[in-house]
Amino acid sequence: MSRSVLYTSSPLLASKTPVWRSKFIVAGFALIFAALAARAAYIQIYANDFFQRQGEVRFTRTLALPANRGRILDRNGLILASSVPASSIWAIPEDVDATPAQLAKLARLLEMPLAELKKKLNDDRNFVWIKRQLEEPVARKIHELDIPGIYQRREYKRKYPEGETSAHVVGFTNVEDIGQEGIELAFEKELAGKAGTRRVIKDRLGRVVEGIGEQVPPVEGRDIQLSIDSKVQFVAYQKLRDAVMARKARAGSVVVLDTITGEVLALANYPSYVPDRRQNLTGEQLRNRALTDTFEPGSTMKPITVAMALEAGRVKPQTLISTSPGRYSIGGFTISDTHNYGTLSVEGVIQKSSNVGALKIAQKMTPHEMWDTYVALGYGQKPKIQFPGAVSGRLRPWKTWRPVEQATMAYGYGLSASLFQMAHSYTAFAHDGEIIPVTMLKSREPAVGVKVFSAENAHAIRRMLQMAAAPGGTGPLAQTVGYSVGGKSGTAHKQVGKGYASNKYRAWFTGMAPIESPRIIVAVMIDEPGDGKYFGGIAAAPVFSEVVQQTLRMMGVQPDISVKPEIITQMVEESF
């Protein structure tokens, strides 16, 4: 039988409780509610911005709206680089739910080993890039697999229609579409444009739930039109490649300049690479040798030495210079010619490429006079061209020159320059004594130059260059059909450590055409010919001839000499 309890008669209720205790409890509850109200007011009114930002961090995102990268065009509007749509594959690994067969098919479509795909999916449970910038047909097939946790992002991929022919000009971008080499790097700001923005709310899987705020549209990248003529570029690259392979050489470069506007019509190097397929790319392929490699120019500097002396009034074209007995001793060194040419006129010094004659002409000038002219022609200075990687070469201060060094500089030893600098310096001969600025961008106006030599002396040098490239000179293989040419060959031992290699050479030829009113300058360099034919007049001059012939024809320049069939049978002479 249960026992009943009479609560009303409980001793606890009969006891008297102090009034202050109940008031204390009520006051305590009141303070708690006041604190909660104050906290709510603080969060919703005073600290609203902070907590709003915290909420946005967790749920809202600012999406970048990529700007379409500008195109790179040649002077005639032909596309050298453009962007095409592409898809990148990414995943949330913890959400990936695929059968072994689906994973195997995905790996095949991505052209990656299945083990590599599985490793990527195990690297990070929240997010991982699987493969960037896939072709659209492949992306569609991946989408059809309908694998949970595998997603796609729309991007742009750079395409280079001219491939390896113009690779060293246009350069390339990385996977983020940022320029890394060439024009892509030099004009990154203009080509890239400015990305837009869009504010959205995303769910845990990264899916857009709602758009919020105003959308800022992207500013598309600007097209860049180059001075390069893709047809001339193709010819230059093709003839250079053929010569490097025929001569069993290590590498080569060609530069073609417009003598009126200063535009670079072609800049080619071999070996090259395909800009949008860069797997296993080596430094040998990547180097833009025409701008980055410097060398001692050798005999191509002799016309500059003679031009200095003409301008200073120390010699005239017919001044006689004794070169007997074909060698000259100075400062404990003996400088030699390939033959004993006896007494030569100044013109003959260039025609026969006499080292002894060149140094004797240089001795008629002071080191300061020579140094001033070298600097005026751009030697020892970084070329002022809109292109990355161009080097300055080496030209020591004139006060440090010893007599033997002044002598060797007369025929191209003791200073260094790039092939591009050499071609640029010859604009002073082609443009009536003015060295003109060069540009990689299309120009419609004649260039305004800086006077270095008088027009009369520049014309005299052109006559000497014509003699040097004619039968009896060192570069008759530079002759072309229908056009008069002039130029100077050069051959130099390559530096190895502190000395010179006895069996490694660089050969080059720099010249212009038509000779009376030059329209183009072409400079050719062949690095380490391996077939024993290493003289510039043999290894480089034929490339000059072919490039000049086809370039002038494509430019619509009228032939200036009648076409006469002839066969050059004489031996080519050359001097280091």
The string of pLDDT tens digits covering residues 154-166 is 888 899 999 999 9
- pLDDT number for residue 154: 81
- Which residues, in sequence order, are CB contacts of 479 under 8 Å at separation 6+? 469, 470, 485, 545, 568
Which of 23-32, 245-254, 353-362, 443-452 has the weakest average pLDDT? 23-32
In a domain, 325, yes or no: yes
Catalytic residue (choose from 299, 353, 484, 545): 299
The CATH number of residue 478's host domain is 3.40.710.10
Residue where one domain finishes, among candidates 199, 225, 251: 225
Which of 233-242, 260-269, 554-563 has the weakest average pLDDT? 554-563
Select, from the ranges 86-90, 122-126, 179-183, the one with the highest average predicted confidence (pLDDT): 179-183
- pLDDT number for residue 1: 46
Give the pLDDT confidence of 440-453 residue by residue, as tens digits: 999 989 999 999 99
Average pLDDT over residues 16-21: 71
In a domain, 457, yes or no: yes
In a domain, 41, yes or no: no
Residue where one domain finishes, among candidates 202, 225, 248: 225
Q: What is the dihedral of CA 115, 119, 121, 126, to 10 degrees?
A: 180
| pLDDT at 5 exceeding the cut of 90 | no
Q: How would residue 15 be classed by pLDDT, with cut points 50, 70 and 90?
A: low
| pLDDT at 429 exceeding the cut of 70 | yes
In a domain, 148, yes or no: yes
Q: Are 266 and 248 in contact (CB under 8 A)?
A: no
- Which residues, in sequence order, are CB contacts of 384 under 8 Å at separation 6+? 437, 438
Which of the pair, 269 or 55, is modelled with greater confidence? Answer: 269
Average pLDDT over all residues of the chain: 88
Count Cβ atoms below 10 Å from residue 363 Cβ, excluding itself. 16
Which of the pair, 412 or 217, is modelled with greater confidence? Answer: 412
| pLDDT at 66 exceeding the cut of 80 | no
Q: How would residue 574 be classed by pLDDT, with cut points 50, 70 and 90?
A: very low
- pLDDT number for residue 18: 73
302 and 176 belong to one structural domain: no
Q: How would residue 564 be classed by pLDDT, with cut points 50, 70 and 90?
A: low
Q: Identify the helix (H) or strand (E) that includes residue 153.
A: strand 150-159
Q: For residue 96, what are its two tokens?
A: 């990936």
Which of the pair, 572 or 462, is modelled with greater confidence? Answer: 462
Q: Which domain holds residue 453?
A: 230-554
Spatial distance between the Cα atoms of 90 and 150, rounded to a whole number of angstroms:
6
- pLDDT number for residue 87: 84
Cis peptide before 325 (omega within 30 of 0): yes
- pLDDT number for residue 14: 62
| pLDDT at 323 exceeding the cut of 60 | yes
349 and 406 belong to one structural domain: yes
109 and 159 belong to one structural domain: yes
154 and 242 belong to one structural domain: no
- pLDDT number for residue 56: 60
- Which residues, in sequence order, are CB contacts of 118 under 8 Å at separation 6+? 103
| Residue-wise DSSP of 215-270 | EE--BPPPPEEBS--HHHHHHHHHHHHHHHHHTT-SEEEEEEEETTT-BEEEEEEE
- pLDDT number for residue 75: 96
258 and 381 belong to one structural domain: yes
| pLDDT at 575 exceeding the cut of 60 | no
329 and 347 belong to one structural domain: yes
Q: Which ranges of 88-229 would DSSP assign to H, the alpha helix?
A: 100-110, 114-123, 136-145, 167-170, 182-186, 188-192
Which of 115-119, 317-321, 362-366, 511-515 has the weakest average pLDDT? 115-119
Average pLDDT over residues 10-18: 65
- pLDDT number for residue 404: 94
What is the pTM for the complete model shown? 0.82
In this structure, which amino acid lies at residue 321?
A: I
68 and 143 belong to one structural domain: yes
| pLDDT at 428 exceeding the cut of 60 | yes
- List % helix, strand, coil for the chain (3-state, nearest 5): 40, 25, 35
Percent of the chain with pLDDT over 70: 89
Spatial distance between the Cα atoms of 98 and 121, rounded to a whole number of angstroms:
11
Q: How would residue 36 be classed by pLDDT, with cut points 50, 70 and 90?
A: confident
3 state SS of 115: helix
- pLDDT number for residue 276: 84
Select, from the ranges 92-101, 328-337, 566-575, the one with the highest average predicted confidence (pLDDT): 328-337
322 and 454 belong to one structural domain: yes
- pLDDT number for residue 222: 94
Q: Is the dihedral of CA 409, 413, 419, 421 positive or negative?
A: negative
Establish whether 489 is a catalytic residue. no
In a domain, 144, yes or no: yes
In a domain, 31, yes or no: no
Give the pLDDT confidence of 366-402 residue by residue, as tens digits: 999 999 999 999 999 999 998 888 999 999 999 999 9
Spatial strand order in the sheet of 196-202: 60-65, 196-202, 208-216
| pLDDT at 567 exceeding the cut of 60 | no
* Residue that has been written with the tokens 């080519």 in this structure: 572
- pLDDT number for residue 563: 61
In this structure, which amino acid lies at residue 299?
A: S
Average pLDDT over residues 499-520: 90
434 and 500 belong to one structural domain: yes
According to DSSP, the β-strands at 224-225 and 72-73 are parallel
262 and 145 belong to one structural domain: no
In a domain, 56, yes or no: no
- pLDDT number for residue 169: 96
Count Cβ atoms below 10 Å from residue 105 Cβ, excluding itself. 18
89 and 147 belong to one structural domain: yes
**Domain count of the chain?**
2
Average pLDDT over residues 491-495: 82
Count Cβ atoms below 10 Å from residue 131 Cβ, excluding itself. 19
Residue where one domain finishes, among candidates 225, 251, 278: 225
- Which residues, in sequence order, are CB contacts of 20 under 8 Å at separation 6+? none
Give the pLDDT confidence of 216-231 residue by residue, as tens digits: 788 889 999 999 999 9
| pLDDT at 566 exceeding the cut of 60 | no
Average pLDDT over residues 62-77: 86
415 and 483 belong to one structural domain: yes
In a domain, 110, yes or no: yes
The CATH number of residue 206's host domain is 3.90.1310.10
